[in-house]
Amino acid sequence: MGVSSIFSLEVFFRAIRDFETARVLGYFELLEGFGPFFIFLSAASFASAARLSLSYRDMLSG
Q: Provide mean pLDDT across the span 23-43.
A: 64
Q: Which range has the worst mean pLDDT, 12-21, 29-38, 45-54? A: 29-38
Is 2 a residue whose pLDDT tops 60?
Answer: no
3-class SS at 43?
helix
**Mean pLDDT computed over 7-21:** 72
Please indicate, yes or no, whether the overall pTM of this predicted structure exceeds 0.75: no
Cβ atoms of 3 and 28 closer than 8 Å: no
- Taking each helix axis from N to C end, the angle separating 3-28 and 31-61, rounded to the nearest 10 degrees, works out to 170
